[in-house]
Structure formats: C-alpha cells, structure tokens
Amino acid sequence: MAEDQRPPPPSWLDKNLIQTALREGYGDSTITVLSCDITMANAVGDGYASDMYRVVAKLQDSEERRVIVKCQPLGGKREELIKKTNVFETERKILVEILPSMYKLLEEAKPGDYQPFSAKCLYFGENPVHFLVLEDLRHSGFTLVEKQKGMDLTLCTLVVRTLARFHASSIALLEANPSILQNHPGTIYTEELRDDLTPYYESSLKSLEKTVLKWPGYEKYAEKIKNIRKNIYDRIMDTARAKDGELRTLVHGDCWSSNMMFRYLDTRVTDIRLVDFQLCYYSSPTLDLQYFLRACPNEEVRRSGIDGLIKEYHSTLSDTLDILNCSAHKITLEKFKKEFDEHSLFGLFVSTTIFPLVVINPSEEFNLNDMLNPNDGLTNSLENVMSGGVFERIMKQFLVESENLGLL
C-alpha cells in the first residue's frame, strides 16, 4: 500500500494559535501558552479525510492543556475531494451549532441524564487551511476499540442507544428551529462525486466477485455481484436520498468503529463519544443503523443479536421522542423494520467497502489516496481481507440474507 507520507506539523500550528484557541474555547483571556509538544494523532488508515495532531500545551505553574487539531489534508486526490465536498465546513457547523443545540434540548428535558455526543470544539479557522481545535478525548479517558475484534453486545447496545438519542434530538431541534439545516449539504453520494467515489466501490465489488468464485457453493453470487457493480453508484445515490413518507433525521453518515470512542470504569464501559461529523446529512436514520450493524459487531452479535439491537434502538428512539415532546414523529417497530429492510442495499454496500477496513490487518491498512486511486496493491489487499477468516464467514451469511431480501 501507499507509504506513510504524512507531513510534519505545519508551521502555522504553533503556540500562538493554540493559545488563541484555548482562550477562545475556555473563555479565559489570561491563558498563556509557554510551549507546545505536537505529534501526529492518527495512524495510517485512520483519519482518512484529515490530518490530525495531538498537542500538549504547557502553561504557567506546570499546568498542561491537551487538544487535537484536525486539519484539511494537502496533496493527492484526497485534497481535491475534501475541497470539493466542503466537509470541514459541514463538521464545523455540526460541532459548533447543531450538536450543542441538540444536547441542550436533552439537558433541558431531563437535567443530568445525558452526556454530550461529541468532543467540544474549542476553535476553528480556514487560514491557511480549514482546521478545528477539539478537546482531546483520550486525555479524558476515552479510547478506540480494537476494531478487528468487532464490538460485543454491551458496546453495540450503547452505540445504538446513542444513535437513537442523536437522531431523536435532531428531530426535536428541527422542529424547534426548522432553518438550522438550511444550506446544509446533502449526502456525499451525488452526481458531482461519481467519478471520485465509484472507482473504490467498483474495485471492492470486483474483489468480492473474484473471491466468491473460490467459495464452494457460493460461486453463483459472482454473476449477481457483477451485475450490481454495473450500477452500484446510482443505487447508492437513490438509497441515501431522503424520501417523503420515511422518518428523517440528521444522519452521522460514517458510523463505524474508528469514529467512536469509549470510556471505561475498570472493565465496564460507561460512556461514549462520536467523532468525525464530516459526512452528516439529512435522511433516514436506518442508514446509520445499517452502516453500524454491517461494519462493527462481532460474529456472536451478528449471529444472534441484530434483531434485539434494532428493537433496542427503536425503544430508545421512541422514549427519547416522548421526553422531547416529539411523540408525533414516533413510528411503530413494524414500520421501522420495514424501512430498515428497504435500506439493506446500503448495508450490502457497507459490507463490501467499509467492513474490509474494519477487519484488515493493521500492517496492510490503506488510506484515502489509495481508495481514490485503486491499483493492484489495493486490489490485492482487498482480496486478502476477503479470502478467509471473519470476513468470509460473515459475508457468506450476508449474501444469503441479501438474496432473500431481493438485493441481488
């Protein structure tokens, strides 16, 4: 795969900027930064659309403040794509305007019962590139999971409850302030981005097509996958589009293991924060649920826990809408399951494009430039991931399910 060519910290990321950010973020004009230690925060394969730096700011009296600086990447096709999609402005608006308003509604409805959805954004700017200065969740005790292992039922339950509250509070916010999402971008699955995104999607499906030919009894799926590959982008555009008659909410849009952090007390998980809101859009909340449930649970949960998680999500969504006085937006479990199944193509898409990123060996991980410029190295990595182990076991099961749902 592509060599790790991440740049050193840029010259503009200095103690003066961090001092400004801390003063702004904490409302304290007396904060004085004496020096900063700056290191890369994201490993190869993570932070696909951003360069991220971990900053330890040393203040007077031996005090320290720790932040993450997330900035627009430079170089290659990913810089072109990030500029074209304007995802940093999307994330700025979500972090600075929308999420605090959603959390405020929950806090007012039930004081002390909820935690924020995200890290706090302390500061942002667009010169010389777009950047965000965020609280360092790791310093607050939050960690990433080992994504290759998959999430157990306890973690999955916490995630679906959080997504349900996220979606419900976005409904309440839109009801209270209908204009807040005015000019908010739609999904990234647009005609404008077809040529940018299609190569990786087709490469993933082509790798799966070649792989299933090696699975005795599953060879028949190769031709079906080939047929899907011919118009996958059109079908994904249609699936992700908000439709009349469906429940519609703010959607996280990139709901997988690398975009969630958890805090533990001893071995018990106690809290969660979502990260990376660059791909948020307005559509069916079942898209987030399809994304998460097809990319993140471990094998045991996939075998016997998916239906229970859908029920848990629906129950939390309904309860939260009641708490927020938005009961008119509630839908029955039966209708919700119907909408979930109607978006199963999105789950198949995630299984072939995102799930490989979850189970791939860390030494083989690839980055966004690899994905935007598919080559033999990418194809070989995808086929290696798909050719055995957990991917093979899970995909065999999901192919049968997909056929039964008429997706193939």
d(CA 230, CA 30): 60
Paired with 124 in beta bridges are 132
CATH 3.30.450 fits 101-404, yes or no: no
- DSSP states along 388-401: SHHHHHHHHHHHHH
Domains of the chain, residue spans: 101-404
What does the CA dihedral 24, 28, 32, 36 come to, rounded to 10 degrees?
A: -50
| Residue 131, H or E segment | strand 131-135
Q: Could you tell me the two tokens for 287? A: 């898209």
| Residue 58, H or E segment | strand 51-59
The confidence score (pLDDT) of residue 97 equals 93
* Contacts (Cβ under 8 Å, ≥6 apart) of 357: 45, 256, 258, 365
d(CA 295, CA 347): 8
Task: Assess contact for 262 and 269: CB atoms under 8 A.
Answer: yes
| Residue 347, H or E segment | helix 344-353
Q: How far, rounded to the nearest angstrom, does the alpha carbon of residue 140 sit from its chain's CA centroid?
A: 21
The pLDDT profile of the chain, 408 residues, written as one tens digit per residue, is 444 455 578 899 999 999 999 999 999 999 999 999 999 887 544 456 788 999 999 998 889 999 999 998 877 777 788 888 889 999 999 999 999 999 999 999 999 999 999 999 999 999 999 999 999 999 999 999 999 899 999 999 999 999 999 999 999 999 999 888 766 767 889 999 998 888 888 889 999 999 999 999 999 999 999 998 888 999 999 999 988 889 999 999 999 999 999 999 988 999 999 999 999 999 999 999 999 999 999 999 999 999 999 999 999 999 999 999 999 999 999 999 999 999 999 999 999 989 988 888 776 666 666 676 666 667 777 888 888 788 999 999 999 988 888 888
- DSSP states along 323-334: HTT-GGG---HH
- In angstroms, how far is the first alpha carbon of the chain from the final one? 31
d(CA 166, CA 163): 5
